[in-house]
Chains A and B, each alone.
Chain A
């Protein structure tokens, strides 16, 4: 197994989840990631010398996916759903909604994230799923750190409005006790 093979095996699942969470479209996520890994393989002698090869692939994948999503939107295509449905246990790509208490709460969160504009959604996913810093998010999305800050702030404000009492500690605890 080559270095690239090992890298691919480890990075593919993680980045596919990230790309899917940002785009909400399974096929689009897979295609974008395939494109990104293809470019990485073509330039592997250089990419592998980078501090974080995964950052290169993540950047290319998200860029490709968001551009394709924008083009699809511009063409008024309806085949690309704007947002992911909530994941369910064991499902390859979920469509059902669980009634499990904790998951129901998370489904509400998922639906709220789905309401965000694409760039804000990307910032949220990169911050709270990939645990990237503002600077890393800025580099990934090709925007300024200040823009990351403002997009993040706008996203959190929107989410608070959409989730309402969900983020209230008392209500959250009550739901958890049911």
Chain B
């Protein structure tokens, strides 16, 4: 008997013989009703302050001050063709919040609720939000536990299952969406470089230390370890988790950074090194290749140098991005997100499987903010809009959310 047939028979026959206990429908209905009430309460409470402020303005204009600003009904995360508005988040709008996808919920936290207007001097100390919210695939928001510290736009995040791991200002944090709780993670043996990215795969988080070594956080065990040193130090290096380990790319010298990048690949047992005619380090692993989405091209010394490109670490084959669009395709929103073969940036979605480009639809007229954050949700893009720094009223409005299916 073939193995696959044997597996099918064994599972079907074995599980069919089990007399499973009946489910407790009454308990499901009762807890489901409570959950529904809690969610409605959370949404209404979460936007209450914003609604109160907005309603004063509306009343002054002779509008319906009692009308809720929460769209109804709440649609699921679906969209096609154009941006579709989701229910507003139960938190105030903010610029560049941290976002992540747990597999069940979009987690939104932190950001700057009062950004400095573009092209102006700001003397004030930047504000950083600690609050956040989570959007369920079924179409509802909930307010999440407040972060222990402000989560600034420049903090680095990566998702490990339903946990958002955050690094910023020298400290590591974890938000467990299932437990709705924040915890501080142990510090790595050597401090993490503040300007670097963090990346994860299979429950491990990879980050570069200030000494250029890759340090690995086992989130379940909450312990750190270090990989052996790479072949040589790299400048402006970025570490990206791959299927078998990690790739670190950067320049071998300050001048080298302007001409090419070198990628060091850890396959789980040893390092190898590849050189590419690409200036940027790689920031994304598609599952098959390293890809850097950047449409710019430079011509130093008569050479044509790509900023972006794609590298197959198995064959060592590098190529510039295929048939890149001639110009930036965005229209008002600067969105960056990547998941698997799909990379969003420069106003396009680049799909590395078919090497195709899809233009992102224009920002909806209703979307008013700068500093929107984006995340991929099962092949769709969910955007949490920012805040218009020049319009005081919008700073006190709920954060908008939008979805688009390429």
Q: For chain A, what secondary structure do more than half of its interface residues adopt (helix, strand, loop), or is it mixed?
A: helix
Closest chain-B Cβ to A3's Cβ sits at a distance in Å of: 13
Task: Offer 24 A-B interface pairs, CB within 8 angstroms, sorted by A.
Answer: A9-B25, A12-B20, A33-B23, A38-B28, A41-B29, A41-B32, A41-B35, A42-B32, A42-B36, A43-B136, A46-B76, A56-B138, A63-B162, A67-B162, A70-B220, A71-B178, A74-B220, A87-B15, A90-B19, A92-B20, A110-B10, A124-B7, A146-B287, A167-B6
Per the CB 8 Å criterion, the residue count for chain A at the interface is 69
Determine the chain B residues whose CB is within 8 A of the CB of A169 once the complex forms: 1-2
Known: A5-B25, A163-B3. A109 touches B19 (CB 8 A): no
Closest chain-B Cβ to A147's Cβ sits at a distance in Å of: 6
Q: For chain B, what secondary structure do more than half of its interface residues adopt (helix, strand, loop), or is it mixed?
A: loop
Alpha-carbon gap, A10 to B116, bound state (A)? 56
> Lowest 4 CB-CB distances: which A-B pairs, in order?
A41-B32, A43-B138, A142-B103, A74-B220
Residue from A30, A37, A43, A87 within 8 A of B139 (CB atoms): A43
Residue from A8, A60, A86 within 8 A of B25 (CB atoms): A8
**A-contacting residues, B94-130, CB 8 Å:** 103-104
Residue from A59, A63, A160 within 8 A of B3 (CB atoms): A160
Q: Which residues of A contact B (CB under 8 A)?
A: 4-5, 8-9, 12-13, 16-17, 20-21, 30, 33-34, 37-47, 50, 56, 59-60, 63-64, 66-68, 70-71, 73-74, 86-94, 105-106, 109-110, 113, 124-125, 128-129, 139, 142, 144, 146-147, 150, 156, 159-160, 163, 166-167, 169, 172
Determine the chain B residues whose CB is within 8 A of the CB of A91 once the complex forms: 17-19
A37 closest partner in B (C-beta): B28
Q: Which residues of B contact A (CB under 8 A)?
A: 1-4, 6-25, 27-29, 31-33, 35-36, 39, 73-76, 103-104, 136-140, 161-162, 178, 203, 219-222, 243, 287-288, 340-341, 378
Closest chain-B Cβ to A87's Cβ sits at a distance in Å of: 4
Closest chain-B Cβ to A170's Cβ sits at a distance in Å of: 10
Determine the chain A residues whose CB is within 8 A of the CB of B20 once the complex forms: 12-13, 16-17, 20, 92
